[in-house]
Amino acid sequence: MKLTTQLSKSITKLLAISTLCSAFLITPATAVAETKSEFRLAWTIYVGWMPWDYGAASGIVKKWADKYDIDIDIVQINDYVESINQYTAGGFDAAAMTNMDALTIPAASGVDSTALIIGDFSNGNDGIVLKGTDKLADIEGQNVNLVELSVSHYLLARALDTVSLSERDVRVVNTSDADLVAAFTTEDVTAVTTWNPLLSEITAMPNTKKVFDSSMIPGEIIDLLVVNTETLQDNPKLGKALTGAWYEIMATMQGNEKEAIKARTLMAEASGTDLAGYDAQLASTKMFFEAKDAVAFNNSAALISIMGKVAEFSFAHGLLGQGAPDAKFIGIQTPSGIYGDKANIKLRFDPSYMQMATDGKL
């Protein structure tokens, strides 16, 4: 999922100029919030977001866009954070991102955003690997190479909690995701936190052990399709078309029928692996293939608790903006309640379109 060193720095620069009245970013995003017929969605390579590429290539997205008399351009961006930065600045109407990044980039920059689709959560796709030991507690005193301020950083913090350690007990070494695998082959690097497919490459090396992964904090690293709230309110057809397309793709890719194998093979190839590799990544991803399951997760009391943990981590690391006095500075709305400031809601988990899919009303 995720971040590069250079783009990590771009977050810092972006948030440094963000305040509650972040007119620079709010203005362009607000300007596009009007009834229109052409839309753009940004995505990057990750197991849970490859369906968007298949949806575009197969014509499924076009089919649903045509149903509502609109056009949807599905655009691959090579850099994950850059895709979110462009969405935040109004260059895209929607983008694939994690729950943490939805909070710390667009929401922290004053852009009101809605989680239209909860696609999955990481259930082993993100992990911590050590050399020469199988005990997480042995990480104490070590350098830990990871993409700083990413979900890997969040995973490390949550893992340390489980063995009565904190970030003060290790030294985080900011490392580009492009360099992590090579770095771990060197003698000096003994601990890394990363995501698949990098995680699989590293755990296949000799004398290594995965000592913690996201299956131990289920539901906390969530993959979303986020849409600008004003754009969605003014253009409900966009929400219907995207949701309808998504669940048709979900239905197509399941199982071992010829069409399902073909779909997943295309997703695998587009992400730089083979069918076996992609299926292995899917196995450590809790995909919500059925809309009803995504709705149930969205409506659960667990979601607001999870977002509270994410907000606390984000505030502690200065990711909610310079003007944030505490972790509750930004309001996060869920069906079970609001975490944070009710007068400053900037991230909304709205299950209404997924519910339409469940009820067959798209």
Residues 107 and 19 in one domain: yes
Looking at the structure of the chain, the number of domains it has is 2
Residues 233 and 352 in one domain: yes
Contact at 8 Å (CB) between 113 and 346? yes
For residue 41, give its domain range.
5-121+221-359
According to DSSP, the β-strands at 38-43 and 71-76 are parallel
Average pLDDT, the chain: 91
Is 19 exposed, middle or buried, given 0-12, 13-18 or 19+ CB atoms closer than 10 A?
A: middle
Pick from 216, 238, 269: which residue ends a domain? 216
pLDDT tens by residue, 250-267: 999 999 999 999 999 999
Residues 346 and 309 in one domain: yes
Residues 13 and 86 in one domain: yes
Query: Averaged over 200-219, what is the pLDDT?
Result: 95
- Residues above pLDDT 70, as percent of the chain: 91
Residue 355 has pLDDT above 60, yes or no: yes
- Distance CA(111)–CA(105), nearest Å, equals 9
pLDDT of residue 78: 87
Contact at 8 Å (CB) between 127 and 193? yes
Pick from 151, 182, 216: which residue ends a domain? 216
Residues 204 and 313 in one domain: no
Residues 13 and 116 in one domain: yes
Residues 89 and 229 in one domain: yes
Pick from 182, 216, 250: which residue ends a domain? 216
- Distance CA(26)–CA(45), nearest Å, equals 27
pLDDT tens by residue, 153-201: 999 999 999 999 999 999 999 998 889 999 999 999 999 999 888 898 8
pLDDT tens by residue, 303-336: 999 999 999 999 999 999 888 999 999 999 999 9
Instruction: Based on DSSP, count helices (H) and strands (E) in the chain, helices before strands.
Output: 16, 14
Task: Using DSSP, state whether 72 is helix, strand or coil.
Answer: strand
- Residues above pLDDT 90, as percent of the chain: 83
Return the closest-CA partner of residue 239 out of 287, 282, 291: 291
Structure tokens at 147: 């993409």
Model-level pTM? 0.86
- Distance CA(318)–CA(153), nearest Å, equals 13
Residues 322 and 258 in one domain: yes
pLDDT of residue 77: 93
Return the closest-CA partner of residue 95 out of 29, 15, 18, 40: 40
Residues 185 and 298 in one domain: no
Residue at token pair 């980039």: 105
Residues 109 and 64 in one domain: yes
Residues 106 and 230 in one domain: yes
Residues 181 and 231 in one domain: no
- List the CATH number of the domain containing 186: 3.40.190.10
Return the closest-CA partner of residue 41 out of 31, 33, 53: 53
pLDDT tens by residue, 111-145: 999 999 999 999 999 999 999 999 999 999 999 99
pLDDT of residue 17: 34
pLDDT of residue 253: 98
pLDDT tens by residue, 15-69: 433 433 333 333 444 444 589 999 999 999 889 999 999 999 999 999 999 999 9
